[in-house]
Structure 1
């Protein structure tokens, strides 16, 4: 039995434990299954909405559960085949995790006050790699398929992983990695220092947007998406096909500025904005 089946069985067992008439309950389930089989999922959703509306109209106190099992919201049958080579991408992600860990550990072995974050990227590496390899669009000025490029806001604590990726790409050298969080010393030694967090002022040819301290990235991504929509509506700049991506952590969502502008995104219908939130349940200092 797969994990999804086990979770469904657990939920069913918990419900039956408090069920006064299990046979009637099963009849309702069977009726819903028959409705889906005969008329499809859209009809089933419509009927469920009607039942909820009828319940409210009759003053029946009912609250849906806010906590749900960890389950992919896209059914397996609706998932397209993976466009890349999973084995190769998993191998590369493992190398990047190791290099990111080694860079932070080596820096702190020499200078204990430097700090750095390991768990953030270690748990988000696959999310980053799928984004880099299959979703994030770079600027393309060719006449055949021009693209203005996506805007990407990276979780600040995952910066070591982006440096590790740049090292494998040849954009950073091993010498550069030795000066992680030591920008001033790097200049004195002819190397490129690596900023603690995404910082386009310190690394203008590397980072696109500043996202540290935590919370700056989410609110900035929302207003950038809104401004891109404004430019398109005013016909000042063609932003069609461009996306604003935010790769953040669950701890970052605790920051007030992370959530404060979500009403703007909802009100303006910013379908050019995509957030990917890595829920590793670690926050900053552990669960």
Structure 2
């Protein structure tokens, strides 16, 4: 980016845009920007690429829909589900060494699912045809754990996780052939869920448009991982979804920045990359990157230096900060600019450690899901940043090997 040769003029332009948005409307300000862009192209002026936005939340705090419900009860339920998922995988591997299973994937996405189950996913009660949900394959333990709390699965079934030969067991991944009364769609191998979800939403819109089936406000939800997006099937049909304006389709990408064997984009920014890909395909993109504990810092940052630091840091560094703790984050993230050290001077190292990511903040997730549900003309993708192995502490949180975590010792538990 070129240095600003006339900061005063720049500030006047920005203030003028603020005035239009404040006294006319945000829509009017957006229209003027579009007209300016069109005029610049006519004048053959060189424009910066506009496929990505700053590394920040799409929805501003003042624009977030208020989350209803008993938040403390929901957190308690979420904690129990996460614990039971972990315990189920551990017990399976204690009984049969090497049986496998995934602890860290669901631990990072538990809040994403919990908000959906509690507030957005609709079943077939009261005549509603029911929403269709494609669950990420590696998060299957979390679905079993929730069903156990609901009384839909017995403890004996959980003890047979990944052991189906003798009957009564639970399949490793969503598999309707093995568990026809439980799973609706197969989503493994990786990438099958996204491409199925797109064509499911497409067929539903086709049927609705021709009066063949009344789907009403039925939605298709698809959960996937950021590493999974490298599978050819994951993104192979997203242009069709954008072209057909599938407003009934919502992707939720759990961006925990790690794949099976290490970082997804260690020296890059996978969320920014995916934003560009989906926006280019005509999708509505909602980024849920920072939790609400960051909001006061961003509000106090009048120079934009904190946002600049967020924009320039790469995913590998973000993982390093979370793995090494608050003191390390203070020194290496905030410490790059003295002004940012002043910004967090009153925060303890523990406070900095618990500056949460958006994918673990139910308030931010609820606002994103609500915005996605209101979008009727475009498919929506929610890019939520999380921590892989969230809640497993030193045993696996943000560790490069956390995907392979199958057991924890008593101290870690």
The interval holding the TM-score normalised by the smaller chain is: 0.7 to 0.9
Q: Secondary structure at the match of 2:262?
A: coil
2:257 equivalent to 1:281: yes
Q: Secondary structure at the match of 1:236?
A: coil
Q: Secondary structure at the match of 1:239?
A: coil
Q: Secondary structure at the match of 2:165?
A: helix
Specify which of 21, 30, 33 is matched with residue 36 of structure 1.
21
- The separation in 2 between residues aligned to 1:68 and 1:235, in whole angstroms, is 39
- The separation in 1 between residues aligned to 2:183 and 2:135, in whole angstroms, is 9
Displacement of 1:180 = 0.8
- The separation in 2 between residues aligned to 1:70 and 1:173, in whole angstroms, is 44
Displacement of 1:66 = 4.9
2:31 equivalent to 1:51: no
Q: Secondary structure at the match of 1:277?
A: strand
The aligned counterpart of 1:108 is 93
CA RMSD of aligned residues (A): 1.7
Specify which of 247, 252, 272 is matched with residue 248 of structure 2.
272
User: Post-superposition, which runs of at least 4 consecutive aligned residues in structure 1 deviate over 3 A?
Assistant: 64-70
TM-score normalised by structure 1 residue count:
0.86
- The separation in 1 between residues aligned to 2:99 and 2:200, in whole angstroms, is 32
The aligned counterpart of 1:131 is 116
The aligned counterpart of 1:235 is 211
How many equivalent residue pairs?
263
- The separation in 2 between residues aligned to 1:119 and 1:67, in whole angstroms, is 29
The aligned counterpart of 2:302 is none
Displacement of 1:106 = 2.1
Q: How does 1:111-122 map to 2 (within 5 A)?
A: 111-122=96-107
The aligned counterpart of 1:156 is 137
- The separation in 1 between residues aligned to 2:162 and 2:118, in whole angstroms, is 27
Deviates more, 1:43-52 or 1:19-28: 19-28
The aligned counterpart of 1:180 is 161
For CA contacts below 8 A with separation 6 or more, give which structure has more relative contact order: 2
Displacement of 1:236 = 2.4
- The separation in 2 between residues aligned to 1:241 and 1:58, in whole angstroms, is 45
Specify which of 186, 194, 201 is matched with residue 177 of structure 2.
201
Deviates more, 1:100-109 or 1:57-66: 57-66
Stretches of structure 1 that go unaligned for 5 or more consecutive residues are 1-14
- The separation in 2 between residues aligned to 1:64 and 1:20, in whole angstroms, is 21
Displacement of 1:129 = 0.8
Displacement of 1:68 = 4.0
The aligned counterpart of 1:12 is none
The aligned counterpart of 1:6 is none
TM-score normalised by structure 2 residue count:
0.61
Q: Deviations over 1:185-243 (max 9, x none)?
A: 4x2xxxx2111110011111111111001100100011111111222233222111211
- The separation in 2 between residues aligned to 1:200 and 1:147, in whole angstroms, is 22
- The separation in 2 between residues aligned to 1:226 and 1:43, in whole angstroms, is 33
The aligned counterpart of 2:221 is 245
